[in-house]
Amino acid sequence: MPAKTAIRHILWPDNTASTTSALLIAFMQTAFLRTSVVLMLLAMVLLALAGNAQAHSITGNDANFVQDIDGPAVVPFIYLGAKHMVTGYDHLLYLIGVVFFLYRPVQVVQYVTLFAAGHSITLLTGVLADLQVNAYLIDTIIGLSIAYKALENMGGFEKLGRLHPDPRLAVFVFGLFHGLGLATKLQEFELSPNGLIVNIISFNVGVELGQFLALFIIFIVLSYWRRFASYLRHAFITNTALMSGGFLLAAYQFTHYLLN
């Protein structure tokens, strides 16, 4: 028997070696998943703070297109809506919180439908009725909605008993604020009245398509993680990171509100 093999057998018998390897693999999987989720959440927050103070505004060529368009443009506005949702870190963080403990697709559909109904109402009404709201304050509330959902996931409202807010109602109400946040991004431009209704509806359709794509990816990632015991074991720390990100975003936006 080679010397290295003999030493391994002396230090780690076959059964011990197998057990050690299994434990090491399990530990690496747990650490990797936990670290990946936390880093993902922190990265989204850092990207948010590195960007414009107003959350994921429409900029660059997209802004030039929206400003110059005169008439219906269904496909481009669907694209803009989908892009805005997929790159909208605040919406994505909130959706992660919403579906974190939803295991059945029917539950996901129920909650996401309420959220979509809420933000569709205020997106369309906000732009078409030209509702003037402070974008920084709305984005502050959106940040707080992330913290609220994370706290709810951590059992922070369980002691309230019957006073515990209905999670479905909360998702709908926060959807209204998220929709106002979307509306403020379009209100940054002087939109042509020619084709405005068609374009705003198209933008909202794009938002829903982008939300579906984002949720599909989020749900797959969470479903995979749920196969491991580490999912529930690290649910608290994950939602703590989520809540911290929400408070950080809210504080950032509210600071700009005070300064402006």
pTM to 2 decimals? Answer: 0.77
Torsion angle in degrees (nearest 10) through CA of 88, 89, 93, 96 = 60
| Residue 177: closest CA among 215, 144, 150, 128 | 144
| pLDDT, position 64 | 74
| pLDDT, position 41 | 56
| pLDDT, position 28 | 43
| pLDDT, position 61 | 74
| pLDDT, position 52 | 46
Q: What string of pLDDT tens digits covers the 260 residues of the chain? A: 443 343 334 334 444 445 444 544 454 455 555 555 555 555 555 544 444 444 556 767 777 777 778 888 888 889 988 988 888 888 899 999 999 999 888 999 999 999 999 999 999 999 888 888 899 999 999 999 999 999 999 988 877 777 778 899 999 999 999 999 889 888 887 888 888 899 899 999 999 999 999 999 998 999 899 998 888 888 898 999 999 989 999 999 999 999 98
Task: State the Cα–Cα distance between residues 255 and 260, nearest whole angstrom.
Answer: 9
| Residue 213: closest CA among 78, 75, 55 | 78
